[in-house]
């Protein structure tokens, strides 16, 4: 599974459609303070289904939408698309390319899409389960994440190992089955 690109529109500091293409190897983002570097990782987390306002550095979900500047009007919605090369079928989806999109309107309406088809948030969560990349995955190591893993309760820490071992899906299915 390889990240191919991240497309942002109306997300935080990105009022215009902006596409970041990731080549093989390491990509680093440099820029002055406040120029929007961390907003890119916020976008990555957000499109993967992040709901925690604190981890998105927002006080309300509307704060992900470009809020305007003296020169530019605010946008009405934010949209982020993450495109993943799935030739190795690391994601349980039978397509060489998987593009996930999240859209959020000021009205509070939100949409999730996989390859342009509308899905539910839980479909996104299930798609990434056991891959390490999802909302609760360990692929995005933000500030303080290592500390929080070390300080976590043992049950919470076990979840991280279960995700890495690829058994989160089975636990999830078992819990779903028990709920019915």
3-state helix, strand, coil in the chain (%, to 5): 30, 25, 45
Between CA 120 and CA 115 the distance in angstroms is: 13
Residue 148 assigned to a binding site: no
Closer to Mg ion by Cβ: residue 38 or 125:
38
* Residue recorded with tokens 């056991």: 130
Taking the least distance from each CB to ligand ATP, the nearer of 13 and 83 is 13
Q: Which of 1, 3, 36, 38 binds Mg ion (CB under 5 A)?
A: 38
For 13, 33, 63, 141, 146, the CA distances from 124, given in Å and listed in that order, are 25, 32, 22, 20, 25
Q: How far is the CB of 36 from Mg ion (least distance, A)?
A: 8
Complex with Mg ion: residue 37 or 157, whichever CB lies closer:
37
DSSP assigned state of 10: S
Helices 154-165 and 168-179, interaxial angle, to 10°? Answer: 110
Q: Does 125 bind Mg ion (CB under 5 A)?
A: no
Report yes or no: 79 and 106 within 8 Å, Cβ to Cβ: no
Q: How far is the CB of 37 from Mg ion (least distance, A)?
A: 5
Closest distance between Mg ion and the C-beta of residue 167, in Å?
34
Is 35 annotated in a binding site? The answer is yes
38 assigned binding-site residue: yes
For the chain, give the longest Cα–Cα distance. 55
Choosing among Mg ion, ligand ATP, none, which partner's interface includes residue 169 (Cβ < 5 to 8 Å by kind)? none
Binding site for ligand ATP (CB under 6 A): 12-13, 31, 33-39, 63, 65-67
Q: Could you tell me which residues are annotated as the binding site for ATP?
A: 32-39
Q: Could you tell me which residues are annotated as the binding site?
A: 32-39
Residues binding Mg ion (CB under 5 A) = 37-38
């Amino acid at each position: 599974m390889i990240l191919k690109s991240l497309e942002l529109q109306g997300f935080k500091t990105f009022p215009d459609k902006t596409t970041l293409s990731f080549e093989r190897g390491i990509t680093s983002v440099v820029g002055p303070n406040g120029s929007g570097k961390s907003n890119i990782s916020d976008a990555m987390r957000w499109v993967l289904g992040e709901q925690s306002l604190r981890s998105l550095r927002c006080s309300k979900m509307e704060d992900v939408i470009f809020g305007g500047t003296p020169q530019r009007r605010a946008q009405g919605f934010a949209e982020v698309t993450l495109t993943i090369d799935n030739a190795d079928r690391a994601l349980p989806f039978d397509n060489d390319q998987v593009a996930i999109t999240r859209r959020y309107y000021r009205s509070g309406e939100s949409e999730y899409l996989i390859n342009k088809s509308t899905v539910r948030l839980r479909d996104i969560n299930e798609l990434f389960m056991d891959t390490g990349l999802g909302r609760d995955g360990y692929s995005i190591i933000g500030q303080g994440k290592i500390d929080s893993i070390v300080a976590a309760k043992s049950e919470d820490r076990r979840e991280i190992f279960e995700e890495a071992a690829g058994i989160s899906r089975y636990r999830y299915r078992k819990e779903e089955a028990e709920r019915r």
